[in-house]
Chains A and B, each alone.
Chain A
Amino acid sequence: MHEMALTESIVEIALEEARKQGARKVTRVFLDVGALSAVDPEALEFCFAAVASGTAAEGARLEIARIAGAGWCLDCEENVPLAERFGACPRCGRCRVRMTNGDELKIREMEID
């Protein structure tokens, strides 16, 4: 359910930037959504059409880049892929991994007309 609140925030930020740019329309919005963030991209897409309806972002495409999870293993002293938040290091099996990528929740850019 909180994807709805996030989507409203996305549309609001996009419209605010579009106004600043003097744009007529927002045609595409590019998001970075980390694979380990507690956000479901499909739910975002579902909500986006509804929230953007009737605004300058109506009909805009939502392009979601999934950012893979990664972390710094304190024991191996290197970057390792992370399949789950607070998961173990795939090399040494220990859990001393500090997440460095994968919890992104960001509007990267948008296409305006």
Chain B
Amino acid sequence: MCSVCGCGEATIALDNDKAGEAPAHAHAHDHPHDHDHLHDHPHDHDHRHHEDGAIDFGGGIAGAHVPGLSQERIVRIERDILSKNDAYARDNRRFFAERGVFALNFVSSPGSGKTSLLVRTIEALEGRMAVAVIEGDQQTSNDAERIRAAGAPAVQINTGKGCHLDAHMVGHALETLAPPAGSALFIENVGNLVCPAAFDLGEAHKVVVFSVAEGEDKPLKYPDMFAAADLLLLNKSDLLPHLDFDVGACLANALRVNPRLQTLIVSAKTGEGLAAFVAWIEASAARRAADMARG
């Protein structure tokens, strides 16, 4: 599975570790993962299923079964390409449910202000809710250091050449981070508005951070991320007086892609909207905990 996460390239920097040193990558790989075939999707059956899972379309390419002769066979697989990642995501989700950890996956293009926003949010949540952070970047542990300076434990994942975090990387980071029961876990994904949309990390919600210094039509240009998110934080609102950015048009574009998207206008600089975001986190975490308790 390491090949999927880019292991050998990805490194998980422990507290006080400096990125760039030899990748500490002793994968014990003794954790169980479900890799079962659900097969609950409908598909046409104009072929015969064998007990071994092989499906016979008239005996294979050669058209006949001849004992002793090599026979090419067609094997029905019907598996989502992302099923490997999704199995790890299920493990993470189970971990979060068992511990009562409320996990958010922050996604955005580079430079939207995710880390500054997280720092302000950690400060705002102080004394109300414990917070731990997983930082994803291609290189450096600068962001994890900023988070630690704000008072929250942080683990840095360096993806090397990878353009996104995947559920396997996050699972390993969780072993190191061990977020306490009842805490919030902020996962700051690699800055990229495309790839992270496809990879479920096991989070409760994806939060897309989008700054007013970007174009209002970005939700239409990069719809997958806005479709995958539950909350949009429109950041850097302090810059609005200096820009021609049309907030209404931006939100209309985002809602066209995702009619269920919730939106908040915030500024990591002035603190505008942060109280509302904190309230959203607390309310969503409580609702999630209640849902889990009901099973």
Using CB atoms and an 8 Å cutoff, list the residues of chain A in contact with chain B: 1-2, 5-6, 8-14, 16-18, 20-21, 23, 27, 31, 38, 51, 85-86, 95, 105-113
Contacts and interface: CB of A to CB of B under 8 A. Distances in A.
A86 B81 contact: no
B75 A107 contact: no
B84 A2 contact: no
A12 B161 CA distance: 20
Nearest to A110: B75
SS of B interface (majority): mixed
Contacts of B55: 109
Contacts of B84: 9, 12-13
Given A5-B164, A6-B82, A13-B84, A95 B4 contact: no
B79 A21 contact: no
B74 A111 contact: yes
B interface residue count range (under 10 / 10 to 19 / 20 to 34 / 35 or more): 35 or more
Interface stretch (B119-127, B129-137, B194-202): B194-202
A106 B195 CA distance: 17
A1 B77 contact: no
B16 interface: no
A107 B81 contact: yes
B83 interface: yes
Given A21-B52, A112-B72, A95 B256 contact: yes
Interface in B14-70: 35, 52-55, 61, 70
A112 B75 CA distance: 7
A108 B81 contact: no
A9 B194 contact: no
Contacts of B162: 1, 5
